[in-house]
């Protein structure tokens, strides 16, 4: 019976082993069956990673395909300060020259308590530098890709281009209005990585690549924009106005070739840009247009057949009493024809043309020219201006509105009104975006010039052009606006500013013109807000700026000079 | 009655079958491993090229921005001044304008009589004087 104890021991061993295996089995059951869901997710998370990829924001190009704004992918060096802290000084000494920063500030960043510190949030790192930093194998230092918005021309056209915020979303200008097209679509990848964190490409599970945003092609030409800004800067130095704008367009299509506004800002340095400097005054500021508005009343009256260019009005030697108030002219005039009223810019003459026209018809032409309504240019922040409805006109309105008082317009609205005359009476919608193209340059969306409506007849426009040509002549208000070799038609404006409800001795000096008058290719608006130094008339302040801009633009575009006057007999017949 | 298997001659067919099966299994195994290895190797290759492409694209964008800056009118003017190049736009009398003939000109030329030396030649034949040159 010696087997009994052995059997007993054997049973104990078997029992122990069975218990161990049972326990292991239970543990396996627990891990694989009971905790399967949580643990498999944990295991998957350990080896799988979802990598989000940001789509690159599209570029903004000028009419000739020159880059005005683009997004660049840059490497940001980041640090886990809790790891780098013990060796902060030595790491900072190694990195500072490569990151182009000083050792002290870098040491401070590296010795903090944060797990995530950006060491070069602004500086661009090229690939060589990245490789050098990588080769140092510094503990706690890693890299991150980030997009930054680049404006290669700096402040050029900043009011048109606009800028983006820290989240890469458009805030102003084309960046904001075309944000839906410019914005890229994010993509993602589900990847598996090895122990070292490197992706095992063969095990990439899902992949949806990011889509880069579309490029926006503008009608703006960067050279013409540069000319406009350069001349505006010169005018700002010479006449020291509070603000100034220049807009250059093609009257036949409504394309905006340049739009500049001062004060301005640099989109690459938004910290230094004040809210005042960021405002695009071409579309967001309104002011009384002054004498430039006489083109509306005179063209309306000519179009209605109420007056002809030769019809004469008594300009009362510079003082005209109407509805108990005296209306003055800058210079006393006697009897003037409608043509002379335009090129001498007589307020009394314009008021009398308005009186003959009547409030209802004048209000109708104000509406037809688009005043009081947005032009719907593809830029944010545009305002409608102020054009009171006929019901709110007072007894003086019919004499004040024809000379550009009691109405407020944006510079763009006024230029589009002049463009209407230059374009044979057809009002065009201002156009600043030419097309939307993909990254290969294939057009996705093509914008065409849009006609708004026929405001006045081509015959009226021809008569208006005849009169407006004389504005730059020796007897006109803007002889300095004449461009040698070109027949220019234009109108000056010197509007008094209103402060606290009172007219003050401050002026908006402006000139709007187009050339060649016989076949208008280019129209230009120059307006300076409160020029100082004595001169304030539109002809003597804005006129010379117009000439400088026009000469350079004509040279650049290769517009052939041809001083060609229409046959006088034909004009007389139409008149 | 037991058979003496040692003395029994190996059957060729059986051996061949066994060898084929073994080779198939071995080939399949090795093939699988080779394929897996190739997949991983190609995956690594793709990854490297993806990284290279991404870097090239980034560099391309950076260079495009640099080029745009260098080509900007303000920069060109600054360079002209710096190197005293005295570059100015051509005056109107220095410009020779060439006009592209339009459809009217084409019609006019189509109806115009041919010069005498070409009147004898038919279309497609080459003038002798030109051929000699």
| Confidence at residue A285, expressed as pLDDT on a 0 to 100 scale | 93
> What is the ipTM, given to two decimal places?
0.75
- Using an 8 Å CB-CB cutoff, list chain A residues near B66: 152
How close does chain A come to B26, measured CA to CA in Å? 24
The whole-angstrom separation of Cα A443 and Cα A211 is: 16
- Using an 8 Å CB-CB cutoff, list chain B residues near A226: 72-74
Q: Would residue A530 count as lying in a domain?
A: yes
Q: Please give the helix or strand (H or E) that residue A555 lies within, else none.
A: helix A538-557
| Confidence at residue B119, expressed as pLDDT on a 0 to 100 scale | 63
C-alpha closest to that of A209 among A33, A422, A52, A37 = A52
Concatenated DSSP letters of A297-363: HHHHHHHHTS--TT-EEE-GGGEEEETTEEEE-SS---EEEHHHHHHHT-HHHHHHHHHHH-HHHHH
Q: A67 and B66 in contact by Cβ < 8 A?
A: no
The whole-angstrom separation of Cα A453 and Cα A485 is: 32
Q: Would residue A454 count as lying in a domain?
A: yes
Concatenated DSSP letters of A79-137: E-HHHHGGGHHHHHHHHHHHHTS-HHHHHHHHTSS-S-EES-SSSPPPHHHHHHHHHT-
User: Would the pLDDT of B132 be above 50?
Assistant: no
| Confidence at residue B58, expressed as pLDDT on a 0 to 100 scale | 85
Residue of B nearest to A229 (CA): B74
User: Would the pLDDT of A516 be above 90?
Assistant: yes
What percent of chain A stands above pLDDT 90?
A: 62
Q: Would residue A331 count as lying in a domain?
A: yes
Q: Would residue A553 count as lying in a domain?
A: yes
- Using an 8 Å CB-CB cutoff, list chain B residues near A71: 61
pLDDT in tens, A237-278: 999 999 999 999 999 999 999 999 999 999 988 888 888 999
More confident residue, A148 or A421: A421
Q: In angstroms, how far apart are the furthest CA atoms of chain B?
A: 125
Strand partners, A443: A437
Could you give the number of structural domains in chain A? 1
Do the Cβ atoms of A526 and A542 come closer than 8 Å? yes
Q: Would residue A129 count as lying in a domain?
A: no
Residue A311 phi, psi (nearest 5)? -60, 140
Q: Give A274's contacts (C-beta < 8 A, 6+ positions apart).
A: A263, A265
Q: B43 and A124 in contact by Cβ < 8 A?
A: no
A169-173, A215-219, A469-473, B42-46, range with greatest mean pLDDT: A215-219
| Confidence at residue B128, expressed as pLDDT on a 0 to 100 scale | 45
User: Would the pLDDT of A122 be above 80?
Assistant: no
Q: Give the CA count within 13 Å in the CB-facing half-sphere of B92.
A: 11
pLDDT in tens, B16-41: 999 999 999 999 999 999 999 999 99
Q: B69 and A558 in contact by Cβ < 8 A?
A: no
Q: Would residue A380 count as lying in a domain?
A: yes
How close does chain B come to A72, measured CA to CA in Å? 6
| Confidence at residue B118, expressed as pLDDT on a 0 to 100 scale | 64
Do the Cβ atoms of A526 and A475 come closer than 8 Å? no
Span A158-174, average pLDDT? 91
- Orientation of helix B12-71 relative to helix A127-135, angle to 10°: 120
Q: Would residue A69 count as lying in a domain?
A: no
| Confidence at residue B130, expressed as pLDDT on a 0 to 100 scale | 42
Q: A226 and B64 in contact by Cβ < 8 A?
A: no
Residue A3 — pLDDT band, cuts 50, 70, 90? low
pLDDT in tens, A179-202: 999 998 989 988 888 777 778 888
Tell me which of A108-122, A423-437, A533-547, B67-81 is least confident: A108-122
Q: A222 and B97 in contact by Cβ < 8 A?
A: no
More confident residue, A563 or A294: A294
Written as six digits, the tokens of A12 are 């104990």
More confident residue, A190 or A158: A158
What percent of chain A stands above pLDDT 70?
A: 97
More confident residue, B127 or A540: A540
Task: With H, G, I as helix, E, B as strand and everything else as coil, classify residue B9.
Answer: coil
Span A460-482, average pLDDT? 92
Task: With H, G, I as helix, E, B as strand and everything else as coil, classify residue A371.
Answer: coil
Q: Would residue A154 count as lying in a domain?
A: no
Is residue A201 less than 8 Å (CB to CB) from chain B?
yes
Tell me which of A416-425, A454-463, B4-13 is least confident: B4-13
CA dihedral A127, A128, A132, A135 (to 10 degrees): 70
Q: B58 and A560 in contact by Cβ < 8 A?
A: no
Mean pLDDT of chain A: 90
Q: Which domain holds residue A438?
A: 222-574
Do the Cβ atoms of A356 and A409 come closer than 8 Å? no
| Confidence at residue A352, expressed as pLDDT on a 0 to 100 scale | 94
| Confidence at residue B131, expressed as pLDDT on a 0 to 100 scale | 38
Is residue A148 less than 8 Å (CB to CB) from chain B?
no
Instruction: Identify the CATH number of the domain in which residue A352 sits.
Output: 3.40.710.10
Is residue A102 less than 8 Å (CB to CB) from chain B?
no
More confident residue, A396 or B98: A396
- Using an 8 Å CB-CB cutoff, list chain B residues near A150: 65
pLDDT in tens, B70-127: 999 999 989 998 998 888 878 778 888 877 777 777 777 777 777 666 665 555 444 4
User: Would the pLDDT of A121 be above 70?
Assistant: no
| Confidence at residue B127, expressed as pLDDT on a 0 to 100 scale | 44
User: Would the pLDDT of A564 be above 90?
Assistant: no
User: Would the pLDDT of A560 be above 80?
Assistant: yes
More confident residue, A118 or A448: A448
A152-166, A182-196, A551-565, range with greatest mean pLDDT: A152-166
Span A539-546, average pLDDT? 93
Do the Cβ atoms of A538 and A509 come closer than 8 Å? yes
C-alpha closest to that of A400 among A354, A356, A460, A437 = A354
Task: Tell me how many residue pairs between chain A and chain B have CB atoms under 8 A apart.
Answer: 72
- Using an 8 Å CB-CB cutoff, list chain A residues near B97: 558, 560
């Amino acid at each position: 019976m010696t087997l009994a104890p052995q059997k007993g021991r054997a049973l104990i061993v078997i029992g122990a082993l069975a218990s161990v295996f049972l326990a292991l089995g239970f543990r396996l059951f627990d891990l694989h069956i009971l905790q399967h869901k949580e643990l498999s997710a944990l295991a998957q998370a350990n080896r799988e990673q979802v990598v989000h990829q940001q789509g690159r924001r599209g570029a903004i190009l000028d009419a000739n395909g020159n880059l005005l704004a683009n997004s660049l992918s840059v490497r940001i060096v980041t640090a886990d300060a809790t790891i780098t802290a013990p060796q902060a000084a030595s790491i900072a000494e190694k990195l500072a020259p490569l990151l182009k920063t000083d050792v002290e500030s870098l040491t401070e960043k590296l010795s903090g308590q944060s797990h995530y510190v950006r060491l070069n949030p602004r500086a661009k790192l090229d690939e060589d530098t990245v490789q050098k930093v990588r080769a140092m194998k510094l503990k706690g230092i890693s890299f991150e890709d980030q997009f930054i918005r680049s404006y290669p021309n700096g402040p050029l056209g900043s009011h048109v281009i606009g800028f983006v915020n820290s989240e890469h979303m458009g805030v102003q200008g084309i960046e904001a209005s075309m944000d839906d097209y410019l914005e890229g679509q994010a993509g993602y990848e589900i990847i598996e990585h090895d122990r070292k964190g490197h992706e095992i490409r063969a095990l990439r599970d899902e992949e949806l690549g990011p889509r880069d945003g579309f490029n926006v092609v503008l009608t703006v030409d960067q050279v013409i924009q540069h000319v406009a800004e350069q001349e505006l800067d010169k005018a700002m130095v010479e006449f020291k106005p509070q603000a100034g704008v220049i807009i250059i367009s093609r009257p036949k299509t409504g394309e905006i070739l340049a739009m500049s506004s001062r004060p301005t800002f640099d989109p690459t340095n938004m910290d230094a840009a004040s809210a005042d400097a960021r405002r695009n005054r071409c579309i967001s500021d309104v002011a009384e247009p002054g004498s430039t508005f006489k083109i509306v009343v005179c063209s309306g009256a000519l179009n209605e057949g109420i007056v002809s260019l030769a019809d004469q009005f008594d300009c009362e030697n510079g003082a005209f009493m109407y509805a108990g108030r005296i209306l003055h002219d800058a210079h006393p005039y006697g009897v003037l024809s409608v043509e002379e009223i335009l090129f001498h810019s007589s307020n009394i003459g314009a008021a009398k043309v308005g009186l003959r026209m009547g409030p209802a018809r004048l209000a109708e032409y104000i509406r037809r020219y688009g005043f009081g309504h947005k032009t719907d240019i593809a830029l944010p922040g545009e305002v409608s201006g102020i054009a009171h409805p006929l019901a709110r006109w007072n007894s003086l309105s019919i004499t004040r509105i024809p000379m550009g008082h009691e109405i407020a317009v944006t510079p763009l609205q006024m230029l589009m009104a002049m463009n209407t005359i230059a374009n044979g009476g057809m009002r065009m919608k201002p156009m600043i975006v030419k097309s939307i193209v993909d990254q290969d340059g294939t057009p996705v969306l093509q914008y065409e010039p849009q006609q708004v409506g026929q405001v006045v007849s081509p015959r009226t426009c021809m008569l208006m052009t005849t009169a407006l040509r004389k504005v730059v002549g020796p007897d006109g208000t803007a002889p300095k606006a004449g461009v040698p070799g070109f027949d220019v038609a234009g109108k000056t404006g010197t509007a008094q500013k209103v402060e606290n409800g009172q007219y003050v001795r401050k002026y908006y000096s402006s000139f709007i013109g187009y050339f060649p008058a016989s076949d208008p290719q280019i129209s230009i608006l120059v307006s300076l807000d409160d020029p100082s130094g004595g001169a304030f008339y539109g002809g003597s302040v804005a006129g010379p700026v117009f000439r400088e801009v026009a000469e350079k633009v004509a040279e650049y575009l290769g517009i052939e000079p041809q001083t060609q006057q229409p046959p006088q007999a034909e004009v007389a017949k139409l008149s | 009655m037991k058979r003496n298997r040692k003395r029994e001659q190996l059957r060729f067919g059986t051996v061949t079958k066994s060898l084929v099966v073994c080779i198939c299994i071995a080939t399949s195994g090795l093939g699988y491993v080779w394929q897996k290895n190739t997949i991983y190797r190609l995956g690594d290759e793709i990854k490297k090229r993806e990284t290279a492409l991404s870097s090239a694209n980034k560099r391309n964008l950076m260079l495009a921005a640099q080029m745009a800056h260098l080509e900007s009118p303000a920069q060109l003017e600054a360079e002209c001044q710096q190197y005293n190049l005295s570059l100015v736009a051509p005056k109107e009398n220095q410009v020779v304008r060439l006009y592209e003939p339009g459809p009217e000109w084409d019609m006019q030329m189509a109806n115009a009589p041919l010069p005498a030396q070409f009147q004898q030649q038919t279309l497609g034949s080459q003038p002798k004087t030109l051929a000699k040159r």
